[in-house]
Amino acid sequence: MIALASAFGLVLAVELPDKTLVATLVLTTRFRAWPVFAGVCAAFALQCVIAVAFGSMLTLLPDALVSVLVAVMFGIGSFMLLREGFREGDEAGEDASRSGPTQLSFLRSALTSFGVLFAAEWGDASQLATAGLVARIGNPVAVGMGAFVALVSVAGLAVFLGAKIRSRIRPKLIQRVAGFVFAGFAVFALAQLMW
């Protein structure tokens, strides 16, 4: 249960201000909500399987090497989040299309959403966090489920609340906090080498 809760909390915090939230918001303005949600959830499921498989492979390595690799993954995630959080630019993000949702087929809308989010998640902080947690905690099923539920929760917020959620949160602040949390995890993983 701890592995599931840890993965859920960490991935949720990382994904709220992430580009995947913005991409889902934009997709929802262009296509009907249910196909977007289905496509996004399928992309997240596949990306979680990939991250869990990578993290599980890491558990086969010696503990010292795993600690270094986990520290590197969290360090990369921290860098990505802090870079985005401190980047100059509009806090509200890109404006969505002014026109209403396009009436494409369910399958075409879902496949478009799947492709956009599957590509956006490669090397994402949440994918690195999922792999790192599997390598550190073990229990790949619980970590994968926690990460997937967090990703689906964020997708649900983006789809059902649309642009309203962007006006209520400060993505840059959340990215900064998550970046410092990732940096702390990287330091903790390196500190375990000394114990």
d(CA 44, CA 49): 9
pLDDT single digits (tens) 62-106: 878 877 877 887 787 678 768 877 887 655 444 333 344 446 688
Q: What confidence category does residue 116 fall into, taking pLDDT thresholds of 50, 70 and 90? A: confident
Is the pLDDT reported for residue 34 higher than 80?
A: yes
DSSP class of residue 169 equals: S
| Rounded distance between C-alpha atoms, residue 66 and residue 154, angstroms | 29
* Domain boundary assignment for the chain: 1-193
Those residues whose C-beta lies under 8 Å from the C-beta of residue 93, and which sit 6 or more positions away, are: 22, 25, 166, 171
Buried b (16+ CB within 10 A) or exposed e, 150-180: bbbebbebbbeeeeebbeeeebbebbbebbe
Position 41 scores a pLDDT of 93
> Which pLDDT belongs to residue 180?
82
**How confident is the model over 114-132, as a mean pLDDT?**
79
Give the pLDDT score at 193: 73
Whether the model clears a pTM of 0.85, i.e. scores above it, the answer is no
> pLDDT at position 166, please?
43
